[in-house]
Amino acid sequence: MRRTPALIVGGGPAGAAAAIGLAREGLPHLLVERSRETGDALCGGFLSWRTLDRLATLGIEADQLNRERLTEVRLFAGGRTAGARLPRPAVSVSRHRLDTLLLDRAIRDGAAIERGVAVRAIEGMQARTADGATLVAETLFLASGKHDVRGLARPVDARGDDPTLGLRLRLPASAGLTRLVGGAIELHLFDRGYAGLCLQEDGSGNLCLAVHRSRLAQAGDPVALLRDLARELPTLGERFAHADPAAPIDAIANVPYGWRAHTAPPGVVRLGDQAGVIPSLAGEGMGIAIAGGIAAAAAYARGGAAAMDRWQPQFARRLARPLGVAGAARRIAESRLAPLALLAARPALIEVVARLTRVGP
């Protein structure tokens, strides 16, 4: 049995941001990450202007992530298109690049990190690992992302009656793809789902879809779904044409969009997707993770373990507006009314929605 004042479970953006904050304050802690090597999690890869500002405070500049900037958003539905400038330039980055930079920064700042340590269950303030060890903490920062940990799993009913699945297809870098997408974040809207596309740091396309299970079941399988969407949405089919036919389609099931943690058990702090899951069309998932990690570390530094029971409801209030606005936008995007909604979409309205779905200070 090992003891640590602060245990961070998960080395993604939320956990790494928290570790950087604790390390800079000289506070004893331990971050455990289940993977030995940094992978590339299924993620939209969009970092807003506000998130870039927060990353700069952690010592990570935008050009380290991607030298190219995203400056506009384009919406496609039913043969109609709408677009607007983003309030400020953003970037698209792979999770491999972002996670690598954050963990390297944490190590340079003195964070205590152990990799290849998978936490299988949490009971009270004890975390049991896959190798049978037990880690005991006074404060436990749960930053396991979309993966629930036994004992602190998010409620099943948060998934809804028609759960959402995440799918990802990687499009190889090419001049043709760059001409199509360029410096834009694209959202392609369709019945019971949507697809987002932007170019990452190596020029490849990160095409992510959020699809209700009923729509996938109607198609039969992911490959058939993509084939159906290519016929239904010619602009999206034009993007699919750049895919490698042999490329795998990554998937994750039962994403509880709209859920947020109003409370947490005593001593436990939920971060990232364990704190709130914003619909991916908002492009603020990593923003929530990084903002939460920074804020939780700062609260712990100010008030210690005793202050953390108040932190979760406070952060839930910060998430109320972004999740609420994003949820309303998602309901329209996934409905058959999406093409009509695009008729009413104006650049000023799109920009307002972009601003309202950011996590405030």
SS3 75: strand
Q: Is the pLDDT of residue 158 over 80?
A: no
Predicted pLDDT of residue 337: 77
Mean pLDDT of 33-55: 95
CA torsion 144→149→154→157, rounded to 10°? 130
Residue 4: which H helix or E strand, with range?
A: strand 2-9
Eight-class DSSP state of 325: H
Q: Is the pLDDT of residue 342 over 80?
A: no
Q: Is the pLDDT of residue 268 over 90?
A: yes
Predicted pLDDT of residue 203: 97
Of residues 347 and 235, more confidently modeled: 235
Mean pLDDT of the chain: 94
Q: How many residues does the chain have?
A: 361
Q: Work out the pLDDT band at 347, boundaries 50, 70, 90.
A: confident
Q: Is the pLDDT of residue 155 over 90?
A: no
In this predicted structure, which of 34-43, 59-68, 288-297, 338-347 has the lowest mean pLDDT?
338-347
Q: How far is CA 298 from its chain centroid?
A: 21
Mean pLDDT of 153-173: 89
State phi, psi for 158 to the nearest 5 degrees.
Answer: -70, -15
Q: Work out the pLDDT band at 176, boundaries 50, 70, 90.
A: very high
Predicted pLDDT of residue 335: 86
Which domains, ranges and CATH numbers included, belong to the chain? 2-158+256-356 (3.50.50.60)
Model confidence over 320-339: pLDDT tens digits? 999 999 999 999 888 887 88
In this predicted structure, which of 58-62, 107-111, 223-227, 351-355 has the lowest mean pLDDT?
351-355
Closest by Cα among 167, 126, 147, 150 to 4: 126
Model confidence over 69-124: pLDDT tens digits? 999 999 999 888 999 999 999 999 999 999 999 999 999 999 999 999 999 999 99
Q: Work out the pLDDT band at 360, boundaries 50, 70, 90.
A: confident
